[in-house]
Amino acid sequence: MMDPVSQITSYLQRMRDGDPVAAAAMLPLLYDELRGIAGRLLRSAPAHTLQATALVHEAWLKIAQANGGQPQFADRVHFLAVAAKAMRQILLNHARDRRAQKRGGGAQRVPLDEFLDVVEAETGDVVALDELLQQLAAANPRQAQVVELRVFGGMSIEEVAAALGTGLTTVKADWRFARAFLVSQLRPDADD
């Protein structure tokens, strides 16, 4: 019997080859990891109306609809990175919709994971982080990807390096620089 990682790799290959049942067969193998990502995103937002299960299902549908139904994933880490990004986009759209429904522009805050306590303390919402990530991506897309995978994907430095195909030293440097950039944008008067 194949180990789960090998099974997932096999299902991803079958998906690339057009097997219509491969995705459904793969979901149970990844479901706990996907719920873990969703749980990390929602953990510090008890008033948020989305539940982890709903977030996983919405992300799954979003991924299935991408690329004309023919998703191309290199491996499990790549798939999880795409899923984390899809969840981030869903939360961002949800936060924007809630903001648009409120009068006077007041938004329901969606606190972030503990990776960026500064962001939560200073802005506290996904929309503000997305705006900062867009600024960072304009200057250095890879550093923005590192933040996205670490914060929204809950990935370790090693997993980010594997997902991006870069070395650990590069990812560590990108992570340090990106955090410094976010802090400088959130606290322009900070000494460090």
Over 90: is that where the pLDDT of 162 sits?
no
Over 50: is that where the pLDDT of 132 sits?
yes
* pLDDT, mean of residues 4-13: 87
Ranking 57-66, 89-98, 162-171 by mean pLDDT, the lowest is 89-98
Angle at 50 between CA 49 and CA 56, to 5 degrees: 175
- Which carries the bigger pLDDT value, residue 121 or residue 66? 66
Over 50: is that where the pLDDT of 190 sits?
yes
Q: Of the candidates 20, 22, 17, 38, which has an alpha carbon nearest to the alpha carbon of residue 8?
A: 22
Q: Pick from 8-17, 46-55, 126-135, 147-156 the range whose average pLDDT is largest.
A: 8-17
pTM higher than 0.85 for the full model?
no
Q: Pick from 6-15, 166-175, 180-189 the range whose average pLDDT is largest.
A: 166-175
As given in the structure block, the two tokens for residue 46 are 């008890």
Distance (Å, rounded) from C-alpha 105 to C-alpha 74?
Answer: 41
31-65 pLDDT tens trace:
888 888 888 777 655 555 678 888 888 888 888 77
Give helix 52-65 / helix 22-42 axis angle, nearest 10°.
130
As given in the structure block, the two tokens for residue 85 are 């990004």
DSSP 8-class letter at 67: G
Owner of token pair 């798939």: 79
How close are the terminal C-alpha atoms of the chain, in Å? 53
Q: Are 139 and 174 in contact (CB under 8 A)?
A: no
